């Protein structure tokens, strides 16, 4: 096998495929990157029995073939090569990478023993790449990192007609985002629980694509598989099992107090007052009149207090939040104003974005946050 490719194209393609390589595996072959050279270009793939990655890139192929090479090593090498064309030659059990005056020789792995990659499922519909990346990033912050409760480490995708709803929760907060898409069938009604880390990484790397196809295995296919592809790049992932919480029942239908605060100002204020908050210590917020007061610390320890202008409609309310969880929600709000909707101080608050203080919130994104009980 022999081919020539531009350095940036090779580095970009290798980085995309290598991102799904397992960090640890008792099967050394799964750390390999499969390179297939054929007329018109290359196909680079990776697979760990759960997640697969595949990317196509242009190349001048003098001799076709397939080879399996150490993936992370090739990724490091491709990224470090000088900005010149790269020639790759396979000779027996060795791969030689030449670029300018740099030459690397890598061992090959048994391509015949490499597992067969899953086929891309049937397309369910198409969504705009930038919107999809934004939506996934907004809900991913609420997904759990506790692998012992695997179904909470996922993002639930609900595909109903022309709308996709994404939801994630770790039982302390819940993020829900709706966005439009173009389904293959307007009568579609399907759901999938996708590993949040995989979905967030894939959506982010496809954010520049005008359109991204979401594919879901149907009857007779490899059920329990979701595929995402766009711009010659594809990912498949096994879906998570378990029953995702009935999250819609958690969103309160009414509120006793509604408050609006400038998002950027609140972010900076929370960051400042939480400097004196020890681990697992909340930040208290007191909404009344035309301001919100933030307090952290107290007693014999350090203390911080800061006030901000706010528009408050309803009864005054004191409530406390985990500062990291609060900042997570504010950071993905994508709106100049955050609107809080409260029932009582010991019940969850719902955060949403608004164009200005006192304005109606945007219905696309909601972030429900459990308060912290304080004495």
pLDDT digits (tens, 9 = 90+) for 268-287: 999 999 999 877 789 999 99
Closest CA to 317 of 350, 283, 352, 341: 341
Domains of the chain and CATH, by start? 2-113 (3.10.150.10), 123-248 (3.10.150.10), 251-369 (3.10.150.10)
CA distance 251 to 343: 11
CA distance 142 to 200: 12
Q: What is the pLDDT of residues 37-94, one digit of tens each?
A: 998 899 999 999 899 999 999 999 999 999 999 999 999 999 999 999 999 999 999 9
CA distance 47 to 112: 14
CA distance 320 to 324: 12
pLDDT of residue 27: 86
Instruction: Report residue 227 as tokens.
Output: 């595929």
pLDDT of residue 40: 80
Q: What is the pLDDT of residues 175-189, one digit of tens each?
A: 999 999 999 999 999
CA distance 248 to 10: 45
On the question of pLDDT at 219 being above 60, the answer is: no
pLDDT of residue 220: 54
Helix (H, G, I), strand (E, B) or coil at 71: helix
């Amino acid at each position: 096998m022999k081919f020539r490719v531009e350095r940036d194209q090779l580095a970009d393609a290798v980085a995309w495929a290598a991102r799904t390589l397992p960090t640890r595996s008792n099967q050394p072959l799964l750390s390999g990157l499969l390179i297939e050279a054929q007329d018109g270009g290359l196909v680079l793939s990776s697979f760990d029995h759960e997640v697969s990655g595949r990317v196509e890139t242009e190349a001048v192929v003098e001799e076709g073939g397939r080879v399996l090479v150490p993936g992370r090593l090739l990724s490091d090498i491709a990224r470090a090569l000088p900005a010149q064309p790269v020639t790759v030659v396979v000779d027996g059990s060795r791969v030689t990478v030449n670029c300018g005056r740099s030459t690397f020789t890598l061992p090959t792995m048994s391509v015949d023993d490499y597992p067969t990659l899953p086929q891309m499922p049937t397309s369910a519909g198409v969504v705009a790449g930038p919107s999809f990346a934004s939506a996934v990033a907004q809900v991913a912050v609420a997904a759990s990192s506790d692998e012992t409760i695997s179904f909470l480490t996922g993002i639930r995708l609900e595909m109903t007609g022309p709308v996709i709803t994404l939801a994630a929760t770790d039982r302390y907060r819940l993020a829900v985002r709706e966005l439009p898409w173009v389904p293959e069938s307007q009568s579609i009604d399907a759901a999938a629980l996708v590993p949040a880390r995989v979905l967030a990484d894939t959506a982010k790397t496809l954010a520049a694509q005008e359109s991204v196809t979401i594919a879901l295995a149907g009857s007779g296919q490899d059920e329990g598989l979701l595929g995402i592809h766009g711009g010659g790049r594809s990912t498949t992932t096994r879906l998570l099992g378990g029953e995702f919480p009935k999250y819609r029942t958690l969103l309160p239908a009414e509120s006793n107090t509604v408050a609006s605060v400038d998002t950027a100002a609140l972010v900076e204020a929370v960051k400042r007052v939480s400097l004196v908050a020890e681990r697992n210590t909340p930040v208290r917020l007191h909404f009344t009149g035309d301001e919100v007061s933030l307090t952290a610390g107290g007693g014999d320890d350090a203390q911080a207090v800061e006030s901000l202008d706010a528009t408050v409609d309803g009864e005054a309310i004191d409530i406390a939040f985990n500062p990291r969880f609060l900042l997570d929600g504010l950071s993905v709000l994508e709106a100049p104003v955050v609107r809080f909707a409260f029932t009582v101080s010991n019940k969850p608050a719902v955060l949403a974005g608004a164009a200005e203080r006192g304005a109606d919130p945007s219905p696309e994104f909601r972030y429900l946050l459990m308060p912290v009980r304080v004495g």
